[in-house]
Amino acid sequence: MARLKKVFSAGRREESTRSDCYVEIDVKPRGGVSVFLESKVSSLYGSSISVLAKEVCAAIGLQHADLRIIDQGALPYVLAARIEAAVKRALPSTIGEYLTGTVTRKKLLQGKDRPRRTRLYLPGNEPKFFVNAGLHRPDVIILDLEDSVALGEKDAARLLVRNALRSVDFFDAERSVRINQGRPGLEDLRTVVSGKPDLILIPKCEDAETITVVANELRSLERQHHVGREILLLPIIESALGVVNAYAIASSSVRVCGLAIGLEDYTADIGVERTAEGRESLFARMSVVNAAKAAGVQALDSVYADVDDSNGLRQSTLEARSLGFEGKGCIHPRQVGVIHTAFAPTKMEIERARQIVRVAEDARKNGSGVIALGSKMVDAPVVLRAERVLRLAERFGEEGGVS
């Protein structure tokens, strides 16, 4: 009697697909692993793809199967992730994994205080966006496993994100992952931590206990995967309850480097429309800023949804800066430069900061407790703010932002 085929698949096969592949797998009782490849580059890379497919199957423990691969420009780390996803859908109880090689990363500015002016969100199941993301020079790249990934594709996206963390050069961007809420988020961590991300974003965070649970899970996984450092946390406040508990969340762990606010979900939670003017969210935004500053961490603003409105983005960023935010989310690479310029100190601010620091240094040398610039007295907080402006100017160049 003929064997009844049961085919499992992963990946994309639409005509518009690029930088991805589609994998079908039919598990057999015997006969080893056979690979059937459709690819425009099969004459050049067909044998390498076949070897990779068999290596993935061996690593996971699959001995007998037919694999059909439709390649549409997928890089090896994508092929490996899609093959692994298909195998694990066929054999859900398997615990093996195939870890791709890691790229050499130059020594980056690390720590809680590194700049996070821009956070560029990339859909975690869309590898076509990964390879060139670092060219746009965002401060943070977010591989998103939450809202941008369909429920039935979360398992495949986790593997793809893990491999991207290991294999893609994101230049000097902080590499981060936005996980899902609750138990699915812990499952995300168990898959992606072997990629050694710098930062984990926790969506819809409403209490300090959530941070504690994630931090405890990270501690165990960091030891298991020899991460060698503490992965930082960035909670996203997206509800009325989250706003109320913002300080408790911000101060709940030394891993927390900032608080971000998500205004689409927040306005939905309080039952209002999000407007360009933003009066409906001012209380929440200022609450997040105040909580972050009180806890000694960064305050990061929400995304600006209209990618075609550069002037609106500029004004929104300038407003965010005036409220005390230190960064803003991006949903398109073209937003990165606009936000960086808006957060940069202006030439006038730089020059005034130099004058303030100069008179403060002169006062200290002369043993004077009184600092004056012209007819105005300068107190210690003003000096600290001026020193921060000069640090920003030194770090990002002195061309000056928008006035």
Beta strands 376-377 and 118-123 are unpaired
- Reply yes or no on whether the pLDDT at 376 is more than 50: yes
* Digit-coded pLDDT (tens) for 208-232: 999 999 999 999 999 999 999 999 9
Pick from 198, 253, 190: nearest CA to 227:
198
Q: Write the DSSP string, 23-50.
A: EEEEE-SSS-EEEEEE-TTHHHHHHHHH
* Digit-coded pLDDT (tens) for 94-147: 889 999 988 877 666 668 889 999 999 999 999 999 999 999 999 999 999 999
d(CA 392, CA 386): 10
Phi and psi for 27 in degrees, rounded to 5? -75, 135
Secondary element (H or E) of residue 236: strand 232-237
- Reply yes or no on whether the pLDDT at 1 is more than 50: no
- Reply yes or no on whether the pLDDT at 368 is more than 80: no
pLDDT recorded at residue 402: 56
- Reply yes or no on whether the pLDDT at 57 is more than 90: yes
Which residues, including other chains, have CB under 8 Å from residue 116's CB and lie 6 or more apart?
139, 140, 174, 257, 258, 298, 300, 326, 327
Q: What is the mean pLDDT of residues 337-365?
A: 87
- Per DSSP, 369 falls in state S
d(CA 369, CA 90): 74
pLDDT recorded at residue 388: 82
Q: How many CA atoms lie within 13 A of 57 on its CB side?
A: 24
Q: What is the mean pLDDT of residues 368-377?
A: 71
Structure tokens at 392: 């920003």
d(CA 148, CA 120): 13
d(CA 164, CA 128): 11
Structure tokens at 309: 């409105």
H helix runs in 72-207, sequence order: 76-90, 154-167, 182-192
pLDDT recorded at residue 144: 98
Q: What is the mean pLDDT of residues 171-197?
A: 97
Q: Which amino acid is at 63?
A: Q
Secondary element (H or E) of residue 348: helix 347-365
345 or 325, which is more confident: 325
What pLDDT band is residue 361 in, cutting at 50, 70 and 90?
Answer: confident
H helix runs in 201-346, sequence order: 208-224, 240-244, 246-250, 263-270, 282-295, 310-323, 334-343
- Reply yes or no on whether the pLDDT at 397 is more than 90: no
pLDDT recorded at residue 375: 66
d(CA 23, CA 202): 31
* Digit-coded pLDDT (tens) for 33-44: 999 999 999 999
Q: What is the mean pLDDT of residues 62-77?
A: 96
Structure tokens at 269: 């939670």
Return the ∠ at Cα 365 (arms to 363 and 368), rounded to 5°.
Answer: 40
pLDDT recorded at residue 79: 97
Look at the alpha carbons of 339, 340, 346, 347 in this order and tell me if their dihedral is positive or negative: negative
37 or 382, which is more confident: 37
Provide the whole-model pTM. Answer: 0.91
Phi and psi for 243 in degrees, rounded to 5? -65, -45
pLDDT recorded at residue 401: 58
- Reply yes or no on whether the pLDDT at 399 is more than 60: no
Structure tokens at 96: 């093996």
d(CA 342, CA 321): 8
Beta bridge partners of 7: 26
pLDDT recorded at residue 392: 79
CA 128 from centre of chain: 16
Helix and strand numbers (H, E) in the chain are 13, 14
- Per DSSP, 20 falls in state E
* Digit-coded pLDDT (tens) for 151-178: 999 999 999 999 999 999 999 999 999 9
Give me the chain's average pLDDT, please.
92
